[in-house]
Amino acid sequence: MKGRLILAAVVIPLGIIIAAVPENTTKPYKLTAEELLSEVKEGTQFMTPDAVAQLMVEKDPSLQLIDVRSSHEFEKFSLPGAINIPLENLLSAEYEDILNQDVKVNVFYSNSSNVANQAWMITRQLGYQNNYVLEGGLNYWAETIMNPQKPAATSPNEEMARYNFRQGASAALGGASVEQAAAPESKAAAVPAVKAQKKKKSVQGGC
């Protein structure tokens, strides 16, 4: 029952957004509702804060952070290198080459995961690939990367290695030396590979 309520909380807002889009700007969908629901249940669209932080620390050119909050929120605070595409402007033609491409790994983020996940669902139903969601959004990012809690001395080595990485990433992304942030010793964060498209499209904007 709880799982159904979570899915409903995700899918129902999507229907509201699609219904609000003017007819002449709505593109034909390539995924059925059943196909999209299956991907939502698998949760493969999420990238952990650790994976995103690792790409940022390494200055990986394939990473493109996309802030889907309002321009006002974006101007107040945003992640380094992010570009702003408010959710209501997501279907604008000027952003299609950014969202539908095979050059970068796009990571949508908002304050939590909700709005970013809606952006992912819309682009995924259009058949776009290489778009992901920052798990937990900025709230979880602040908790795990910028203000990591030191585990107990008796914690497994993996937890301590993760904490050391997060502490180094926090220092690096806050302006300290990048060399302080080394990848976790136990296991590197999972980073998705860029998926090829049939027709490559140029990408505007940079990391």
Residue 82 lies in a domain: yes
Cβ burial, residue 140 (10 Å; 0-12/13-18/19+): middle
What does the DSSP 8-state code read for residue 60?
Answer: -
On whether both 113 and 45 belong to a single domain, the answer is yes
Q: How far is CA 8 from CA 2, 3, 4, 13, 34, in A?
A: 10, 9, 6, 8, 14
On whether both 60 and 115 belong to a single domain, the answer is yes
On whether both 86 and 174 belong to a single domain, the answer is no
Give the span between the Cα atoms of 35 and 32, in whole angstroms.
Answer: 5
Tens digits of residue pLDDT in 157-201: 999 999 999 999 999 997 433 334 444 444 455 677 788 776 555
What is the total count of domains within the chain? 2
Tens digits of residue pLDDT in 94-132: 999 999 999 999 999 999 999 999 999 999 999 999 999
Give the span between the Cα atoms of 68 and 84, in whole angstroms.
Answer: 6
Tens digits of residue pLDDT in 1-32: 544 544 455 555 555 444 444 343 456 778 77
On whether both 83 and 154 belong to a single domain, the answer is no
On whether both 38 and 93 belong to a single domain, the answer is yes
Residue 133, classed as helix, strand or coil, is strand
On whether both 130 and 153 belong to a single domain, the answer is no
* Number of neighbouring beta carbons within 10 Å of residue 55: 20
On whether both 34 and 112 belong to a single domain, the answer is yes
On whether both 87 and 113 belong to a single domain, the answer is yes
Q: How far is CA 109 from CA 53, 114, 179, in A?
A: 13, 9, 26
**What residues make up the domain containing 91?**
30-135
